[in-house]
């Protein structure tokens, strides 16, 4: 999905994911479905909870940012979630990395979501105060 084609003689490679994502909405759903199925297959085949969480984060980032018009299309050419997931699996199986339950990853994700939510609420509050100040 990420490195099927090569651009010229250079080292830049891209796959079907950015090409499929040219189709609005449907492309993101297809890319997410394929990527998420790979994560589920690895989970069923015994990958640790930590590596599965890291892989899911890659897929969710790819899908979320890839859904933004124009920026997402450019992002899809450079952020290769499936390639990153293959690297995570190789590190897990051959080097013994990413072992364990993944509670540290879960804490970081929840912390980031909390900070983003708090920041968004703060910005909404500031915008509300600005609007009230206009009247």
Per-residue pLDDT of the chain (135 residues; tens, 9 = 90+): 666 666 777 677 777 777 787 787 888 898 899 899 999 999 998 888 899 999 999 999 988 998 888 888 888 888 888 889 999 998 988 888 888 888 888 899 899 999 999 999 999 999 999 999 998
| pTM (two decimals) | 0.75
**Could you please report the per-residue DSSP string of 23-74?**
STTHHHHHHHHHHHHHHHHHHHTT--HHHHHHHHHHHHHHHHHHTSTTHHHH
Q: What CA–CA distance (Å, rounded) separates 102 from 97?
A: 12
Strand partners, 13: 6
- How far, in Å, CA of 104 to CA of 88, rounded? 16
């Amino acid at each position: 999905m990420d490195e099927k084609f090569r651009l010229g003689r250079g080292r830049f490679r891209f796959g079907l994911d950015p090409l499929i994502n040219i189709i609005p909405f449907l492309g993101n759903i297809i890319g997410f479905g394929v990527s998420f199925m790979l994560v589920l297959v690895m989970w069923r085949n015994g990958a640790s909870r930590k590596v599965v969480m890291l892989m899911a984060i890659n897929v969710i980032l790819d899908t979320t940012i890839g859904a933004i018009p124009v920026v997402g299309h450019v992002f899809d050419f450079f952020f290769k979630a499936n390639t990153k997931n293959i690297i995570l699996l190789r590190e897990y199986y051959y080097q013994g990395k990413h072992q364990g339950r993944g509670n540290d990853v879960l804490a970081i994700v929840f912390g980031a979501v909390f900070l983003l939510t708090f920041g968004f609420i703060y910005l909404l509050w500031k915008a509300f105060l600005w609007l009230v100040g206009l009247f």
